[in-house]
Structure 1
Amino acid sequence: MWDQHMHCMFSGDSDADPVLMINSAINKGLDGICFTDHLDYDYKEEPGLFDLDIAAYEKRIKRLAIVLKEKGCPINIHWGIEIGLQPHITDKNNEVAKKYPFDLVIGSSHVVNGIDPYYPAFYKGKTEHEAYTEYFESILDNLHSGADFDVYGHIDYVVRYGPDKNKYYSYERYADIIDAILKEIISQGKGIELNTAGFKYGLGHSNPTEDVLKRYHELGGEIITVGADAHKPEHVAYDFDKVSNILKDAGFMYYTVFENRVPAFIKL
């Protein structure tokens, strides 16, 4: 198994040494990993927090991959990025995606109409249902903006932080808009991820939920990566023992690994 969503010291919300992240992956028996540090332009709550020194990031990770391979490192180390999508910065984001030789580009919705749902201000003056709907609508806006990415990250990220988290959330309650999102992703030849951080956040489910993963497969979705969204070494491959059954129950017999932004399908 590969963990293709993780962050280290180059992300504004992590201070993890990439060597320790790699060692954790080795100790957990992974076949490979992909670093995907954050880049979020126009992050108003904490300006500059998620600006990414891409040149330094690339140099460090690629140098580590070379040195460790020469020392007989038993896992593959890929280099990617998680880009925070917003329609008004699509061109700026796309320049980055095209300029650098990433293995994987995750596109994620972290900011909705100027506010990250991580902050309580996002929910002020709205019902939880209205807030969640606004979040999903923002994903459609990003998909219609021409954003350049390979897989959409943690599609129901918003439920990690809502007032009741996922107590009243289900695929069925938001089926119309989630189906529209999944159909658009599929039509663009892009994929989604199974993000196990939902278990770490106490949701009892992955992001997106198992029902969304199943619906994605029913609609013809084929590209699906797996990641734990780790920001610390101890969270690498978090609850990966659940992954195979989740994917099989959703109808998948494989998962996807990206190299040079080209997907390869690996049997479970």
Structure 2
Amino acid sequence: MITADYHIHTSLSEDSTAPMEEMIEQGIRAGLTVMCFTEHMDKDYPGGGAGYFEVDTKAYRERFLECRAKYADRIELLFGIELGLSPDLAQWQREYTESWPFDFVIGSSHLVHGEDPYYPEFYKDGEDEGYRRYFESVRENLEAFSGIDTYGHIDYVVRYGPEKNKNYTYEKYRSEIDSILTALIDKKIALEVNTGGYKYGLGEPNPAAEVIKRYRELGGSLITVGSDAHEPQYLAYEFERAGEVLRACGFGYYTQFRGRVPVQVRF
């Protein structure tokens, strides 16, 4: 069983209302032994005003330390962050991640040149064009900034496309996806298996099994697993299914980070 969840949000993130303690209690009930909180830091996110989607890192750190002390004999808690990547933020993000004692840093693409794939307007030139633009932006982000430990939900865009993953396959976007996977391997950045895809009705994690298998074929070996939970009921969501997918793709282990150092853990 996979017992470490490395992608968790609480009420300290803009899009969650769940108190940290409530998430921890549910994590313990769910059988987790490790929980890594990864609050949102999407600097300059458009449309929400100053500080929108930017965690108050000082308050986050203080709350985390309180909870870590309180639950020290029941579960291991780790201090992480999820960065919303953009090439123009590379220098700021480098300085930010070096200024705090993070155990783990997720880099994610939530915007494509300032546009959010969550909104229908992103697909005004068609779903296929929107997906290609998204994958190309992931590669741009990797070229600009590689100071992350894993890349989150690299096919996140299919959660929100007009037809979601109905017309989406690895083969259709082979060139773009292979470019991303090769960059991850070259830069020693892990690939995240995000079980939020099941929550969004895709029937697969993000990325899809075909992509995970291709990552393995190309020589990739660093896999992190996260639920992307914003509510307690989604902690460790479908981790058993994710484990089955990983085994089918040639992985009998996943990667945990502490102090930003990777350790392979068999399951």
2:59 is the counterpart of 1:60: no
Output aligned runs, 1:1-268, within 5 Å.
1-47=3-49, 48-69=51-72, 72-73=73-74, 75-124=75-124, 126-268=125-267
Q: Which amino acid aligns with 1:53?
A: D
Give the whole-Å Cα distance in 1 for the aligned partners of 2:4 and 2:119: 31
Kept in 2, the 8 Å contact 1:45–1:115? The answer is no
Residues 1:256 and 1:194: Cα distance change in structure 2 (over 3 Å): same
User: Offset of 1:243 from its aligned partner?
Assistant: 2.0
Give the whole-Å Cα distance in 1 for the aligned partners of 2:17 and 2:46: 21
Kept in 1, the 8 Å contact 2:10–2:18? The answer is yes
Kept in 1, the 8 Å contact 2:90–2:145? The answer is yes
Give the whole-Å Cα distance in 1 for the aligned partners of 2:191 and 2:15: 23
Alignment coverage as a number of residue pairs: 264
CA offsets, 1:186-223, max 9 Å, x none?
00011111100000000111000001001111111111
Give the whole-Å Cα distance in 1 for the aligned partners of 2:78 and 2:167: 37
Give the whole-Å Cα distance in 2 for the aligned partners of 1:242 and 1:267: 16
CA offsets, 1:120-152, max 9 Å, x none?
12112x111100000000001001103411100
Give the whole-Å Cα distance in 1 for the aligned partners of 2:126 and 2:47: 22
User: Unaligned 5+ residue runs, structure 2?
Assistant: none
Q: Which amino acid aligns with 2:104?
A: L
CA offsets, 1:63-89, max 9 Å, x none?
2111211xx31x211110000000011
Q: Which amino acid aligns with 2:234?
A: H
Kept in 1, the 8 Å contact 2:256–2:263? The answer is yes
TM-score, length-scaled by structure 1: 0.97
Give the whole-Å Cα distance in 2 for the aligned partners of 1:102 and 1:3: 16
Give the whole-Å Cα distance in 1 for the aligned partners of 2:248 and 2:92: 39
User: Offset of 1:250 from its aligned partner?
Assistant: 0.7
Q: Residue 37 of structure 2 aligns to a residue in which SS? A: strand
Kept in 1, the 8 Å contact 2:44–2:52? The answer is no
Kept in 1, the 8 Å contact 2:16–2:230? The answer is yes
Q: Which amino acid aligns with 2:129?
A: E
Q: Residue 256 of structure 1 aligns to a residue in which SS? A: strand
Kept in 2, the 8 Å contact 1:39–1:51? The answer is yes
Q: Which amino acid aligns with 2:8?
A: M
User: Offset of 1:119 from its aligned partner?
Assistant: 1.3
Superposed structure 1 runs of 4+ greater than 4 Å apart:
none
Give the whole-Å Cα distance in 1 for the aligned partners of 2:249 and 2:17: 35
User: Unaligned 5+ residue runs, structure 1?
Assistant: none
Give the whole-Å Cα distance in 2 for the aligned partners of 1:162 and 1:37: 25
Kept in 2, the 8 Å contact 1:9–1:15? The answer is yes
CA offsets, 1:5-62, max 9 Å, x none?
0100110111110111111110011121100000001211323321110011011112
TM-score, length-scaled by structure 2: 0.97
Kept in 2, the 8 Å contact 1:156–1:207? The answer is yes
